[in-house]
Amino acid sequence: MSETFPAVVVGGGPAGLAVSRQLQRRGVDHIVLERGASVATSWVNAYESLRLHTGKHLSALRGLRFPHHTPLFPARTDLVRYLETYVDHFRLPVRLGTEVRSITPGENWTIETDSEVFRSRTLVLATGIMSNPNIPSIADRSLFSGRVLHSVEYRRPDEFIGKRVLVVGVGNSGGEIGTELARSGAEVTLAVRSGANVVPLTLFGLPIQYLSMLMQKLPRKAQERIVLRVRKAVARRRGPTVLPIPDKSPLDAIPLIGFHLVDLIGAGRIAVRPGIERFTRTGVRFSDATEEPFDAVILATGFRPALQTLDPHLRVDAKGFAIRTDRVSSADHETLFFVGHNYDATGGLNNINRDAPIAAAAVARVLNGSRRGGR
């Protein structure tokens, strides 16, 4: 079975729904292909305690606010319900349970799924990163007698209570999971290779994201001065940092947001060790040559852009993101666009809101040009 559309959107999470609404507003006939049984599958399956670090006012997609009773920092379930409402409210053309297996460029794109083939003049990849966990290669993993899992597989702390757990990575997922485990009764150790910039969740009662957005309008030197002042103010109030400070500025890498993790480290409830050299039968050997036993190792080592379906038709940068001519346009294919592939301290959802109309306008231009005998 084969279907043809002027535009196909791959991914039914926030990015896919945001661009779908913008295409709809421009009168572009399209379909959204979502692999899961519901929209936002990655969010549905994320760990239960997950909560946004971004305020609800700047996390809602264009055209529909979060319900007024939603907390300032929406929980995972709040976001999922909101996205389901968004689809219903705008009657977006989402095809559930349709996993894309491969994508082939040509005069028209050929999108092969597990059930049928779609063809389209334009293509928007809204696959984000959450469906492609980054799993580092660590020597002698097969020797370890305990359990190894990526943070994407973690759901709740119950099975780890009373156990020795090593959390590898000090990003926001690692910080939240490590904190939850320690508070639930696990014996938690955090493996930190390069350190973390830690910033408050709120400043003067407002989400730190709002300050980040205002700072983007300033020159780089002014931004760095603000970062330094915030760091000094935090140090005066909370004392010396308990985590190494990395070489990268928080302006260049998403910081660890909130003090939940560092408070537990300071209280001695979470131990900090350097990076892992290799696994042993009962645990790991760290880069400082010390060895410790663990029952489980959780790899909170982040994600990579989910672009596997386009291999080998796409060039990518050092972080695995497609090379683009602007925020959304592929440098390799003039009818290919990306939404949900820009990340910074202002928040992924805020970047989606910025990029969705840009991508939809570009799709419309391509299609209008085609009808006029253009590109």
Contacts of 12 (CB under 8 A, 6+ apart): 32, 33, 34, 35, 36, 39, 40, 41, 94, 96, 126
Is it the case that residue 133 has pLDDT exceeding 90? yes
Quote the tokens at residue 104.
């082939």
Strand partners, 111: 103, 118
Q: State the pLDDT at residue 208.
A: 86
Same domain, 172 and 120: no
Whether 149 and 188 share a structural domain:
yes
Question: Given a cut of 60, is residue 73 above it in pLDDT?
Answer: yes
Q: Compare 365 and 199 and report the one with higher pLDDT.
A: 365
Q: Which residues of 260-296 are buried (b: 16+ CB within 10 A; e: fewer)?
A: bbbebbeeeebeebebbbebbeebbbbeeeeeeebbb
pLDDT by residue (tens digit) across 74-92?
999 999 999 999 999 999 9
pLDDT 10s digits, 252-270: 888 899 999 999 999 999 9
C-beta separation of 28 from 359 below 8 A? no
Same domain, 166 and 281: yes
Q: Could you give the C-alpha distances from 139 to 38, 152, 286, in angstroms and in order?
A: 38, 21, 11
- In this structure, the answer to whether residues 295 and 343 fall within a common structural domain is no
Q: What was the pLDDT predicted at 264? A: 97
| Side-chain half-sphere CA neighbours of 232 within 13 A | 6
pLDDT at 359 over 90: yes
Is residue 321 domain-shared with residue 288, that is, in the same domain?
A: no
Q: Are 78 and 51 in contact (CB under 8 A)?
A: no
Q: What is the pTM of this model?
A: 0.91
Could you tell me if 244 and 193 lie in one domain?
yes
Answer yes or no: is pLDDT of 373 > 70.
no
Instruction: Write the CB contacts of 6 (distance below 8 Å, at least 6 apart in sequence).
Output: 28, 29, 30, 120, 121, 122, 367
Percent of the chain with pLDDT over 70: 98
What's the whole-number average pLDDT of the chain? 93
Given 274, 299, 324, the domain boundary residue is 299
Token pair, residue 293, equals 């036993």
- Residue 274, pLDDT > 90, answer yes
Same domain assignment for residues 168 and 253: yes
Choice between 115 and 30, residue whose per-residue pLDDT is larger: 30
Position of tokens 């205002």?
A: 214
CATH number at residue 158: 3.50.50.60
Task: Give the pLDDT mean for 307-331.
Answer: 94
**366 pLDDT higher than 50:** yes
CA distance linking residue 95 with residue 323, whole number of Å: 28
pLDDT of residue 19: 98
% of the chain surpassing 90 pLDDT: 79
Q: How far apart are CA 361 and CA 303, in angstroms?
A: 29
Q: Do residues 123 and 11 share a domain?
A: yes
Residue 195 C-beta-side C-alpha neighbours within 13 Å: 12
Identify the domain boundary among 282, 299, 316. 299
C-alpha span between 84 and 82 (Å, rounded): 5
Looking at the fold, whether 146 and 268 belong to one and the same domain comes out as yes
Q: What angle do CA 226, 349, 27 make, to 5 degrees?
A: 135
Whether residue 122 sits in one domain with residue 265:
no
The 3-state DSSP class for residue 160 equals helix
Tell me what pLDDT residue 287 has: 96
Domain encompassing residue 77: 2-132+303-371
| pLDDT for residue 375 | 36
Out of 299, 324, 343, a domain closes at: 299
pLDDT tens for each residue of 147-205: 999 999 999 999 999 999 999 999 999 999 999 999 999 999 999 998 888 988 988 78
Helices 14-25 and 348-371: crossing angle, nearest 10°? 40
Same domain? For 293 and 145 the reply is yes
> What pLDDT was estimated at residue 374?
36
Contact status, residue 33 vs residue 11, Cβ threshold 8 Å: yes
Q: How far apart are CA 254 and CA 272, in angstroms?
A: 20
Number of domains in the chain: 2
Q: Is the pLDDT of residue 370 over 70?
A: no
Residues linked to residue 296 through DSSP beta bridges, in sequence order: 147, 165
> What amino acid is encoded at 132 in this protein?
N
Rounded Cα distance, 33 and 19, in Å: 12
Residue 285 and residue 154 share a domain: yes
